[in-house]
Amino acid sequence: MSTTQLNVVLADDDEDDRMLFVEAIDEISIKTELSLFNHGQELMDYLTLPNALMPNLIFLDLNMPIKNGLQCLKEIRENPKLKDLCVAIYSTSSSEKDIEETFLNGANIYVNKPHSFSKLRDVVEKVLQLNWQYHTSNLNKDTFLFRI
C-alpha cells in the first residue's frame, strides 16, 4: 500500500458505532482521513457539493433515518460524478434480502458489523487493504460478503 492517505467516509446514525469506528481507524497502521456523517442525506449533501473531496471508500450503514443506505447507494450509482466510488455496506443486518439487494444495486462489498472491537479493527484494516481495482473487477457473490 502506498504512503498516501486514504480518504474514508462512514455514514452511520448510531453514535456508538461511529465512535468505535473512529477508534478502530486510529489503531490501524493505514493512514486514513475519516469523515463521519449521521445519516444518508448528510452524506449525499456532502458528496454532491461542487468541491467535495471524493472518498476512496464509503462505509454505508443500511438502516438510517431520513435517507437509508440503499437509497444512498442507488443515488451514488445513478450519479455520473459518483458512480465509480467504492461502497462498502456496513450493517448489522445479515439478511439475504439486504445482501442480495445491495449486491444488485452496485455495492462493492458487504460487511457485517462485528460484535467485538478487536474484530472491528481487523475488519476495517482488511477492507482498507483490499486492492479495490482488482476486487471490483472480479466482483461476484462469493467475494461480495466479507466475513472475518
Where are the domains positioned within the chain?
6-146
State the pLDDT at residue 133: 55
What single-letter amino acid sits at 144? F
Q: What is the dihedral of CA 60, 64, 69, 72, to 10 degrees?
A: -110
Q: Pick out the chain residues at pLDDT < 70.
A: 1-3, 131-148
- 14's CB contacts (< 8 A; 6+ apart) are 61
pLDDT digit string, tens, across residues 136-148: 555 555 555 555 5
Strands (E) across 4-148 are located at 6-11, 32-37, 57-60, 87-91, 109-112, 145-146
What pLDDT score was predicted for residue 1?
Answer: 41
Which amino acid, one-letter code, is at 24?
Answer: A
Residue 74: per-residue pLDDT: 97
The C-alpha cell that represents 67 in the structure block = 435517507
The whole-angstrom separation of Cα 144 and Cα 98 is: 12
> Residue 120's pLDDT is what?
94
Choosing among 3.40.50.2300, 2.40.50.140, 3.40.630.20, 3.30.390.30, the CATH entry for 6-146 is 3.40.50.2300
